[in-house]
Structure 1
């Protein structure tokens, strides 16, 4: 698929859509990008192409707002756990042709979608944060290392902290940035980040930034709740499809 002349256009289209979702609801770029790209390439290759767009768009999100230093002081145990978990799981993201990583990705997408659709809400008392934050970080890191998706359980946990809307968006940016950089270390060790995909990553970055800008511009005209609902429905359908499709390869 990488050799197809249509693949760069396909890649750019996926990242345009993923960036748009991020612009509207503040998340969704890695989930959409990894999920859709995995229909055509391995999750490992999809994650390699994702690194640059994810880092840049998340840094932009992370630095928007005045709570960066305060959030970093509060969340650093979780960020440390993210790194530990991701690096401990190095090698879990299988290479080309192995359906296990795609099945794991499908399970992660289904779990993420169900949590969102069921509107499951949690509350994490402040006194529990010193224990919960590193544990959530390690768990998210292990899932990141195995699937390339870094939303479970990090996103529900950050939502459970009772942050204000703008603080939550900024906290998600911090978490996603750290997760992406930690995953990049794993991919570098596996020699998956190389000049051969650099031009694809740059095209994906341009498309993601364009989508993010468009999503931010249209955020006020769209109903975020409705958009989020269809986003989760799409991720649920995609996750089920990946599980069924890749499971057939094991039979």
Structure 2
């Protein structure tokens, strides 16, 4: 891929990823990893998404008043995410890109399949002390190995029946910690380079433009129908990544 084609891919990827986040409130790293993963090693794609992911998720985290209470409630989960991600990043860096791409495809299809079915789960508060760190650790390992932050953290937080604003902030907290931990894991394992941070910075503008556009679109279309189309797109993208090692 020549330089101009690469920059076009980078711009369109983060424009689309930002648009999805603007409409649905999530999905920027998932879309970015899925699309960039079709053109480069997942470890390189993960390095490029660090800065736009961090900025957009910090924005989401700090948009409400519950930051400190969420930190007190979910600190064990966040610790599990950090430990799992830093350790799991060794898989993303050292495994053959075809097979790490397969793992990324499985993660995309697993999340999309779950979200399309949307089972109604409820977890009692009394289970949080032992379940939160376990969920954090598993989420971290999957994040480290694939660059995708959503499983099983998103279903878990949704099952706690937080109110709407708390859920948005809790997701922002989980994604922010996951992004920082992924950056640390890539750095520890020698896969985060200065030139990649430069590319990551270039992705900020299209990501923010996409978010703005997505917020405008959200007011005009059915968010439910858009979400269904987005999840079907992730299924197809995951299937393409899974098929690569076999053809």
Which residue in 2 is equivalent to 1:75? Answer: 74
Which residue in 2 is equivalent to 1:152? Answer: 151
Does 2:123 align with 1:108? no
Does 2:44 align with 1:45? yes
SS in 2 for 1:155: helix
TM-score if structure 2 supplies the norm length? 0.96
Which residue in 2 is equivalent to 1:232? Answer: 231
Q: Is the deviation greater in 158-167 or in 213-222? A: 213-222
Deviations 1:164-223 (A, max 9, x none): 122111111100000000010111123322222233212211111111122123322221
TM-score if structure 1 supplies the norm length? 0.94
SS in 2 for 1:89: helix
Aligned partners of 1:121 and 1:156 also within 8 Å: no
CA distance in 2, matches of 1:241, 1:120: 26
Q: CA RMSD in A?
A: 1.4
1:88-127 mapped onto 2 (5 Å cutoff): 88-94=87-93, 98-127=97-126
Aligned partners of 1:42 and 1:96 also within 8 Å: no
Which residue in 1 is equivalent to 2:163? Answer: 164
CA distance in 2, matches of 1:227, 1:5: 30
CA distance in 2, matches of 1:164, 1:231: 24
1:69 Cα deviation from its structure 2 partner:
1.6
1:246 Cα deviation from its structure 2 partner:
2.8
Aligned partners of 2:87 and 2:185 also within 8 Å: no
Aligned partners of 2:47 and 2:197 also within 8 Å: no
Aligned partners of 2:123 and 2:160 also within 8 Å: yes
SS in 2 for 1:121: coil
Which residue in 2 is equivalent to 1:22? Answer: 21
CA distance in 2, matches of 1:87, 1:10: 28
1:88 Cα deviation from its structure 2 partner:
2.4
CA distance in 2, matches of 1:237, 1:59: 29
Q: Is the deviation greater in 82-91 or in 171-180? A: 82-91
1:95 Cα deviation from its structure 2 partner:
5.3
CA distance in 2, matches of 1:130, 1:247: 42
1:97 Cα deviation from its structure 2 partner:
5.4
Aligned partners of 1:82 and 1:178 also within 8 Å: yes
Cα distance, 1:64–1:208 mapped onto 2, change above 3 Å: same
Aligned length: 247
Aligned partners of 2:80 and 2:133 also within 8 Å: yes
Aligned partners of 1:124 and 1:161 also within 8 Å: yes
CA distance in 1, matches of 2:216, 2:110: 30
Which residue in 1 is equivalent to 2:5? Answer: 6
Aligned partners of 2:93 and 2:186 also within 8 Å: no
Aligned partners of 1:42 and 1:95 also within 8 Å: no
CA distance in 1, matches of 2:194, 2:78: 29
1:128 Cα deviation from its structure 2 partner:
0.2
1:145 Cα deviation from its structure 2 partner:
0.8
